[in-house]
Chain A
Amino acid sequence: MTAPIVQASALARHYIVKGGLLSKPATVKALSGVDFDLQPGKTLAIVGESGCGKSTLARVVTMIEEPTSGNLTINGVDITPSKWAEMRETVQIVFQDPYGSLNPRQRIGQILKEPLIINRPDMSAADREARARELIELVGLRPEHYDRYPHMFSGGQRQRIAIARALMLNPRVLVLDEPVSALDVSIQSQILNLLVELQDRLNLAYLFISHDLSVVKHFADDVIVMYLGRAVEKAPKDQLFAAPRHPYSKALLSTTPRADPGARKERIKLEGELPSPMNIPKGCAFAQRCWLATEECRAAPPELSGGTHQVACLHPLD
């Protein structure tokens, strides 16, 4: 096994939310105690519903935000804010909405050259342009697109531009924050294929954030299921999808609609909604929606344990 390119241990990110005039400020625990290793050429998927902390994790790994506690090691370097500037070249991000993440006033060439202008000031203008043109071709766009504006492109093409921009600095890790959820099915498959191809060619590591389990099942190598800022299950993809062990993972899998009208399966209906992240229950965060919960569950949060297939539950399923 090669050395991991990203290592996270006990990563946490809390936000302080100011209350009203008279109320005390509250703490939102968006992310608490997440560990993972990411190998080059592999894809680690983070799944969960809105508010589970998956985007916060993406922001911490991309060094947009500093973790409140815990360690992040990228390419063997311990990350502190003083190292951000140099290490950001290694980790780049592709955002969900290709309509919002490209500057409408810049031409595609300018958008692509920008990371180089900032990070490689000594590079000549001609070299920058050559690199931008190379990337345009790599992501399957045509050379004449270099001088166009973002509004002239469809959603799928814009996402290609966003991917090209992320690759300008030769990163080793790409954080993909819901890269296909804003796209139509027929376009989605084109972008997923492009990502697979790029991973093979450039040996990229992907941190793939998604709520769409069918995409994750197709695309990922390992999966972490998150619930309210904590990892509740961590396993290789095949094991997780064949036999989820955490009740939440099982419910999530069972409620994902499948494009197969014949396969009537039993759906686990979860009652209620996510508790507020400002007021996380003392014990297992999932206990109040769980059909297996006991008194013990409500007392203390269970830790992630097990070999390759880890689960944070006192009553794991077999």
Chain B
Amino acid sequence: MSLLEIRNLTVEFATASGQFRAVDGVDLSVDKGELMAIVGESGSGKSVSMLALMGLLPWTATITADQLSFEGIDLTKISARERRKIIGKDIAMIFQEPMSSLNPCFTVGFQIKEALRIHLGLNRKDRHQRAIELFDQVGIPAPESRLKTFPHQMSGGMNQRVMIAMAIACTPKLLIADEPTTALDVTIQAQILDLLLRLRDEQGMGLVLITHDMGVVAETAERVQVQYAGQKVEEQPVADLFRTPRHPYTTALLNALPERATSKMLPTIPGVVPGQFDRPKGCLFSPRCQHANDICRSLPPTPHSAQFGKARCHHVEQITAGELA
């Protein structure tokens, strides 16, 4: 049994102009100690699907799923009160903007101890001890004195460490990191990614890394799933994905990276990600795809077998066989 099992997750938002489907039939499974990466551009639904899992979406969202289970517990069936015992304790999340995720009115020490008090019920002395231990674990120098500082007194990298310390405070079994390094500089990014990998190894937790940075994926993940406009379009082990991308979108995305460029002009993907009003009828990528034909434009594709990277594409077999250039 995998740690987290999501099948056919759909999230719709009620907007003034009708229902908007932000996540469309996404599957995800994560094992203990595994690092799963979700990549996609903005609007691909990667954050929303994880927020749905955490129960952090506003009331305008309608969440449906065939399965949404954590350690065999069906999260859609349990009450909000029971869910609160799991969220924040066994499933924790790190957000993109450390500066805006921490409360500016309280010291970081207060904020980390809050989680320890509510979820673990530790007394004042133990909380203090544990908070120091956690700060030390995430590499914050002089942890005891740092507990008394406010978020604005520290740098972005330090604040992100505080966020990580808070997330791992209750030794979660699953950690979701939503663009944990996007707001940080590269030298700090390397420190934070190393820290996450080390914690995963030490505590054997599952890690879901949401990112748009192909470089970060290549250097850290084991399995990768690619999302486009709310759908999962491909899933492969990291080395295979970069060697033989199956879905035309993944191929185009990798080709558009400047570091893979062969000439001064980069290959581009024409057009933009479809929005609420211009959602195509068939394959969502068809308006931008070089292989698209009439089938693609009328019939939504279903995912292929794992051999073809579970690609959601009508032509993946022909592309693999080299029949379509």
* One of B119-127, B144-152, B167-175, B215-223 contacting the partner: B215-223
Q: Which of chain A's residues have a CB closer than 8 A to the CB of B273?
A: 184
Q: Is the CB of B258 within 8 A of A215?
A: yes
User: Which DSSP category, helix, strand, loop or mixed, fits chain A's interface?
Assistant: helix
- Contact assessment for A185 and B265 in the assembled complex, using a CB-CB cutoff below 8 Å: no
Distance in Å: Cβ of A41 to nearest Cβ of chain B? 13
- The main secondary structure of chain B at its interface with chain A is helix
C-alpha spacing A76/B268, complex, angstroms = 38
Contact between chains at B268 and A211 (CB < 8 Å): no
Across-interface contacts of A269 in B (CB, < 8 A): 190-191, 194
Q: Which A residues touch B252, using CB under 8 A?
A: 186
- Determine whether the beta carbon of A256 is less than 8 Å from that of B215: yes
Q: Are A186 and B41 in contact (CB under 8 A)?
A: yes
A259 touches B187 (CB 8 A): no
Most buried by B among A196, A217, A258: A258
| B42 in the interface (beta carbon within 8 A) | yes
Q: Is B324 an interface residue (CB 8 A)?
A: no
Is A214 positioned at the interface, with any CB of B under 8 Å from its CB? yes
Measured CA separation A192–B264 after assembly (Å): 9
* Cα–Cα, bound, A258→B212 (Å): 13
CB–CB B272/A187 < 8 A? yes
- Note all chain A residues with C-beta closer than 8 A to B253: 185-186
Nearest-neighbor residue (CB-CB) of A48 within chain B = B185
Q: Which residue of B lies closest to A182 (CB)?
A: B42
Q: Which of A10-18, A77-85, A260-268, A293-301 binds B?
A: A260-268
Task: Output the nearest chain A residue to B213 by Cβ-Cβ distance.
Answer: A257
Known: A49-B186, A185-B212, A270-B187. A218 touches B272 (CB 8 A): no
Point out the residue from B41, B157, B216, B259 that lies within 8 Å of A184, measured CB to CB. B41
Output the least CB separation between B290 and chain A (Å).
13
User: Which 8 pairs across A and B sit closest by C-beta, in order of nearness?
Assistant: A257-B215, A218-B258, A49-B185, A184-B41, A189-B266, A255-B190, A186-B269, A259-B214
Interface residues of A (CB under 8 A from B): 49-50, 154-156, 184-190, 192-193, 196, 211, 213-215, 217-219, 251-252, 255-262, 267, 269-270, 273-274
A and B contact pairs by CB, cutoff 8 A, 16 listed:
A49-B188, A50-B156, A185-B256, A186-B268, A190-B268, A192-B258, A193-B268, A214-B257, A214-B258, A252-B187, A256-B186, A257-B186, A259-B218, A261-B219, A261-B239, A273-B155
